[in-house]
Amino acid sequence: MIRIQVPATSANLGSGFDALGIALTMYNQVWMEESDTLEITSKDEVKIPTDESNLIFWVARRLYEECGHKLPGLKILQKNNIPMARGLGSSSACIVAGLLGANRMLGSPLSQSDLINLAAEIEGHPDNTTPAISGGLVASAIEGGRVYSVSVPVSEKIRFAVFIPPFELKTEKARAVLPKEYSREDAVYNLSRSALMTATLFSGKTENLRVAVQDRLHQPYRSGLINHYDQVFRISYELGSLGTYVSGAGPTIIAMINAADADDFRKYAVAHLKEKGIEGWRFEILNANSHGAEIVIE
């Protein structure tokens, strides 16, 4: 049996709408082996599909078919630490687990580049799946059905304070509130800040982050879908956030903070949420993951 460990991912980072993504040190674990039947179980209390609609199985079978093989069944055991429909790449983690596991069972016929391209084709965009595979901060674009991407490490000065609400927000709903067209001014506004974000996270020039997260393309339209949006943003900046943004389509909110301030930020953030009556939110402080998904033979 093989074990695949896949990191959570955070897309957009404010200004980098559908272009930037980062891998984080929160992980799903998937154990997988070939079988004549389909057997899917969970190591935790998260409800998952146990039939052929299970995304990990569906993706694994897709890769087998792409390589000219049939997949009669699988034994799959899942441990789901990445919360579903929260903007932290839970579906991308399933896609990547299915692809990496199936590829290994077939003797690794596909390269990392092949896997990145197929993952983006299945997901519909590369901003979560690519960093889940390659790790780090990833800038990506699709041209002619192929993903062009660069992964760079994130400065050790920066940590990611993650505010995860107790409610889901489906990507389809978050996309539906966006306008069909934007002004040139708004496009340039985001382009300049997304370029600044990439250089800043790589270089550690943290004073730029408050400007780099600024956005006119998606967050202003999605804020009304996230309960306590204004309060959580305000709390994060009062506690010294370098830059706060909605992770992916939301509803998770992430504050980038100085690594040296992580312990104090954790203590006071939890206290402030309680004081403001913001209940049920999960809070984590994470690092950037530099290497992406991993496979372990067990």
* Strand residue runs (E) in the chain: 2-11, 20-35, 39-42, 73-79, 137-143, 146-152, 158-164, 243-246, 253-258, 282-286, 294-297
| Residue pLDDT, tens place only, 224-275 | 999 999 999 999 999 999 999 999 999 999 999 999 999 999 999 999 999 9
Q: List the structure tokens of 46.
A: 């998260």
SS3 52: coil
Mean pLDDT, rounded, of the chain: 96
| Residue pLDDT, tens place only, 70-116 | 998 999 999 999 999 999 999 999 999 999 999 999 999 999 999 99
Strands 39-42 and 2-11: unpaired
Identity of the amino acid at 178: L
Strand order, beta sheet including 282-286: 243-246, 253-258, 158-164, 282-286
Q: How confident is the model at residue 30 (pLDDT cuts 50, 70, 90)?
A: very high
Do 257 and 209 fall within a single domain? yes
Task: Reply yes or no on whether the pLDDT at 47 is more than 70.
Answer: yes
Rounded Cα distance, 73 and 20, in Å:
35
The pLDDT of residue 159 is 98
Rounded Cα distance, 64 and 110, in Å:
11
Do 89 and 176 fall within a single domain? no
Do 148 and 257 fall within a single domain? no
Rounded to the nearest 5°, which phi and psi values hold at 295? Answer: -120, 130
Do 126 and 53 fall within a single domain? yes
Q: What percent of the chain has pLDDT over 70?
A: 100
Do 173 and 278 fall within a single domain? yes
Rounded Cα distance, 31 and 28, in Å:
10
Domain of residue 183, residue span? 158-286
The pLDDT of residue 149 is 96
CATH number of domain containing 268: 3.30.70.890
Which of 177, 176, 171, 178 is closest to 84 using CA atoms? 171
Do 229 and 110 fall within a single domain? no
**CA separation (Å) from 222 to 67, 79, 109, 152, 205?**
40, 30, 41, 29, 28
Hey, how many other C-beta atoms are within 10 angstroms of the C-beta on 260? 10
The pLDDT of residue 1 is 87
| Residue pLDDT, tens place only, 164-220 | 999 999 989 999 999 999 999 999 999 999 999 999 999 999 999 999 999 999 999
DSSP state of 260: G
Number of domains comprising the chain: 2
The pLDDT of residue 298 is 66
Task: Reply yes or no on whether the pLDDT at 19 is more than 80.
Answer: yes
Contact by Cβ (8 Å): 82, 93? yes
The pLDDT of residue 127 is 94
Q: How confident is the model at residue 45 (pLDDT cuts 50, 70, 90)?
A: confident
Q: What percent of the chain has pLDDT over 90?
A: 96
Do 293 and 146 fall within a single domain? yes
Minimum mean pLDDT among 42-46, 85-89, 150-154: which range?
Answer: 42-46
CATH number of domain containing 56: 3.30.230.10
Do 15 and 93 fall within a single domain? yes
Q: How confident is the model at residue 134 (pLDDT cuts 50, 70, 90)?
A: very high
Do 65 and 186 fall within a single domain? no
